[in-house]
A = this chain, B = another copy of it.
């Protein structure tokens, strides 16, 4: 299924008058409105190839219908999202779930949808059929060199696929760790992992980045070998200038101040990218902005502050990706909501009066600093994000149009009700 331009136009036309009223009200008083709109338009969030099917937990999975059965259909799904919001113009590929059999054909297909290839992802947290060695006790950390070599080899293969598609970064998330005290020698696990990452790093094309993702717990429940930003930064620093830390919002201990981590990683020139999602307890992988929207805003506040301080390009100098699991919502609807939440937080953060905030900080005027932040946060920026979409040729209300066009029903017709997308 593909969206036609006239469908978007009709939708927009019917909402235009009310949109204009709301946009004009909101834009009033935003001095740099054109700059804000331009930044909102430029900001694209990559969709992970594994998030287009229904997710599950260890207790089970309640399948949806009309899920994509192939990489081609996944690109079709993202194409639909992108046609609706012009903000999802990238895909983050997972190997081996989505090995492109014909890279050139896939590139052409993606290009037709206006989609580029963001970071490719390796998987050494599961055993694949016919795999020689098991990752039951880890991959790069493993005590057995043969297992480590296999994991390194897999990462090289992922780079290979990424190169063929025009990607320029690899995200390495290792589930390596231990479930019980005594299981692991932490130091040796670190050193094996570092050694493996170094070998992968050595194979990086010149213009590539490596993102070292950390996670506090799960699927290992005692220790994780890349467990927090401190560890990730250690690896990235030892690896070299092409290695960066990747922050996944759900990968922290309770109450962690993620926005401070973001700020310090930017200071160290070692923040590489983001996995957006939301959570209440652990890596719950819920819709972005569904639980802690203010925290999301605070993170964007630090991102803008830190990136601007270094003259970075918001849209292109970090990797922006969603990483979520859609257990009870239609995956496409969930992704539309997530992208919207990210853009709203970004828009709010763009409205922060930085000059005044800095002055309040200089004067230790804590009350005023909060007022400044919350003045931006409390602003209803939905019309700004909608206007940016309108100018980019997308729908004023992507979710409304998605439902009105009965996209999922169409997909079920095309693909069947009992399809299962690869993924968790």
Determine whether the beta carbon of A234 is less than 8 Å from that of B268.
yes
Contact with B along A177-190 (1 / 0, CB 8 A): 01111111111001
Say yes or no for A76: interface residue by CB 8 A criterion.
Answer: no
Determine whether the beta carbon of A371 is less than 8 Å from that of B357.
no
Say yes or no for A255: interface residue by CB 8 A criterion.
Answer: yes
Say yes or no for A416: interface residue by CB 8 A criterion.
Answer: no
Q: What separation, in Å, do the CA atoms of A19 and B266 have in the docked complex? A: 40
Q: A282 is contacted by which of B181, B281, B361 (Cβ under 8 Å)? A: B281
Determine whether the beta carbon of A62 is less than 8 Å from that of B253.
no
Say yes or no for A419: interface residue by CB 8 A criterion.
Answer: no
A:265-290 near B, CB below 8 Å? 266-268, 279-282, 284, 286-287, 289-290
Q: What separation, in Å, do the CA atoms of A328 and B223 have in the docked complex? A: 13
Q: What separation, in Å, do the CA atoms of A337 and B367 have in the docked complex? A: 8
Note all chain B residues with C-beta closer than 8 A to A125.
59-60
Q: A221 is contacted by which of B181, B227, B284 (Cβ under 8 Å)? A: B284
Note all chain B residues with C-beta closer than 8 A to A60.
125-127, 219
Determine whether the beta carbon of A231 is less than 8 Å from that of B264.
yes
Say yes or no for A311: interface residue by CB 8 A criterion.
Answer: no
Q: A256 is contacted by which of B185, B234, B253 (Cβ under 8 Å)? A: B253
Interface size for A (C-beta < 8 A) is: 106
Note all chain B residues with C-beta closer than 8 A to A367.
329-330, 333-334, 337, 399
A:210-228 near B, CB below 8 Å? 216-219, 221-223, 227-228
Q: What separation, in Å, do the CA atoms of A12 and B293 have in the docked complex? A: 32
Output the least CB separation between A348 and chain B (Å).
Answer: 10
Q: What separation, in Å, do the CA atoms of A292 and B180 have in the docked complex? A: 11
Q: What separation, in Å, do the CA atoms of A380 and B379 have in the docked complex? A: 6
Q: What separation, in Å, do the CA atoms of A238 and B129 have in the docked complex? A: 47
Determine whether the beta carbon of B62 is less than 8 Å from that of A134.
yes
Q: What separation, in Å, do the CA atoms of A362 and B189 have in the docked complex? A: 11
A:344-396 near B, CB below 8 Å? 344, 357-358, 360-364, 366-367, 369-374, 377-380, 382
Q: A280 is contacted by which of B221, B229, B361 (Cβ under 8 Å)? A: B221
Determine whether the beta carbon of A358 is less than 8 Å from that of B185.
yes
Output the least CB separation between A99 and chain B (Å).
Answer: 18
Output the least CB separation between A23 and chain B (Å).
Answer: 11
Q: What separation, in Å, do the CA atoms of A182 and B267 have in the docked complex? A: 17
Output the least CB separation between A40 and chain B (Å).
Answer: 16
Q: What separation, in Å, do the CA atoms of A293 and B294 have in the docked complex? A: 7
Say yes or no for A291: interface residue by CB 8 A criterion.
Answer: yes
Q: What separation, in Å, do the CA atoms of A126 and B293 have in the docked complex? A: 31
Say yes or no for A132: interface residue by CB 8 A criterion.
Answer: no
Say yes or no for A58: interface residue by CB 8 A criterion.
Answer: yes
A:226-250 near B, CB below 8 Å? 227-231, 233-234
Q: What separation, in Å, do the CA atoms of A338 and B264 have in the docked complex? A: 30
Some 19 contacts from A to B, beta carbons below 8 A apart, are A25-B25, A60-B127, A62-B134, A179-B366, A181-B259, A181-B298, A182-B370, A190-B267, A191-B267, A217-B255, A217-B281, A218-B282, A222-B291, A229-B230, A253-B255, A291-B294, A337-B370, A378-B380, A379-B380
